[in-house]
């Protein structure tokens, strides 16, 4: 009989373990740069990621807010009540806390990588090597196209602001310059050195958010001939607000009625013209 030889299965040799890469020491990076960098906020490109380091600045004197508080009282416009920004180390603590708070709510904000008394490090909202323009800059950049993209970007910003409020929170200075167009199409937020909800009722904070957004974008909408469509979207936005917030928005708009009497002359300056355009956007 022919003998059958059973072949043994080949035994594979274990592959050498890949060298483990130690995670970046962001704490050490922060300590090495926060006090030596030339600017209070500095960008660092490190291979596959971009980091921003923000250093505590000088403290802000409290008297700066008294005049605005008096104006708000005289005009009976609570929306003008100032939110203190003490600056210095307290502003750093506030911003770190707010960034983490908003991140927990599922909103797009820079990830805090490390913090210390003198500042903190955060990850860039854009992809490495890819710029992340502010919403305001993005809206201006597409103006020459005249294809409705400016309005589409504005509507996306308005919807994202609505998402913030639906999450149970508010922003800080909800200007278009503090909204970031990320590479994946999501709008993120930056700049949280103050915390309005720590000083004002939440409905008032949300009205402030909405008016900041209107003030920073209405003039771009006017240039894009998109004001009629934007006004319709704004009315829907206000109607979707919670009752207390909506009532406060409507009363604030009525109290701002004097703005319609401002002359259209450019001699009043660009800022006053932007106020007029914002009023045109938000008035019913």
CB distance 119 to 53 below 8 Å? yes
Q: Which helix (H) or strand (E) holds 43?
A: strand 41-46
Tens digit of pLDDT for each residue in 144-190? 999 999 999 999 999 999 999 999 999 989 999 999 999 899 999 99
* Structure tokens belonging to residue 190: 């930056």
The domain ranges of the chain are 26-282
DSSP secondary structure letter of residue 261: G
Average pLDDT over residues 93-110: 97
Banded model confidence at residue 272, pLDDT cuts 50, 70, 90: confident
Quote the percentage of the chain above a pLDDT of 90. 68
Is pLDDT larger for residue 23 or for residue 236? 236
pLDDT of residue 4: 40
Tens digit of pLDDT for each residue in 11-34? 334 444 444 456 789 999 999 999
Return the SS3 of 141: helix
Banded model confidence at residue 254, pLDDT cuts 50, 70, 90: very high
Is pLDDT larger for residue 81 or for residue 123? 123
pLDDT at 266 over 70: no
pLDDT of residue 269: 66
Question: If 0-12 CB within 10 Å is exposed, 13-18 middle and 19+ buried, where does residue 89 land?
Answer: middle
pTM: 0.86
Give the span between the Cα atoms of 88 and 104, in whole angstroms.
25
CB distance 159 to 81 below 8 Å? no
Give the span between the Cα atoms of 197 and 207, in whole angstroms.
12
Mean pLDDT over the full length of the chain:
87
pLDDT of residue 66: 62
């Amino acid at each position: 009989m022919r003998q059958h030889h059973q072949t043994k299965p080949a035994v594979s040799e274990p592959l050498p373990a890949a060298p483990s890469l130690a995670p970046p020491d962001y704490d050490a990076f922060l300590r090495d740069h926060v006090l030596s960098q030339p600017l209070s906020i500095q960008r660092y490109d490190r291979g596959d990621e971009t980091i921003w380091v923000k250093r505590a600045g000088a403290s802000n004197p409290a008297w700066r807010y008294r005049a605005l508080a008096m104006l708000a009282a005289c005009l009976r416009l609570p929306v003008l009540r100032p939110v203190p920004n003490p600056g210095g180390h307290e502003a750093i603590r506030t911003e770190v806390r707010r960034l983490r708070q908003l991140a927990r709510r599922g909103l797009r904000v820079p990830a805090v990588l490390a913090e210390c008394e003198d500042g903190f490090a955060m990850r860039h909202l854009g992809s490495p090597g890819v710029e992340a323009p502010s919403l305001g800059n993005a809206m201006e950049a597409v103006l020459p196209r005249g294809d409705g993209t400016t309005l589409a970007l504005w509507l996306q910003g308005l919807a994202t602001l609505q998402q913030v409020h639906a999450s149970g929170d508010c922003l800080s200075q909800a200007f278009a310059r503090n909204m970031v167009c990320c590479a994946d199409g999501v709008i993120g937020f930056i700049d949280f050195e103050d915390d309005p909800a720590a000083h004002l009722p939440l409905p008032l904070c949300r009205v402030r958010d909405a008016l900041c957004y209107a003030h920073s974008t209405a003039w771009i909408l006017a240039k894009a001939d998109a004001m009629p469509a934007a006004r319709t979207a704004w009315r829907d936005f206000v109607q979707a607000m919670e009752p207390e917030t909506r009532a406060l928005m409507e009363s604030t708009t009525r109290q701002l009625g004097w703005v319609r009497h401002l002359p259209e002359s450019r001699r009043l300056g660009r800022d006053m013209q932007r106020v007029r355009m914002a009023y045109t956007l938000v008035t019913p």
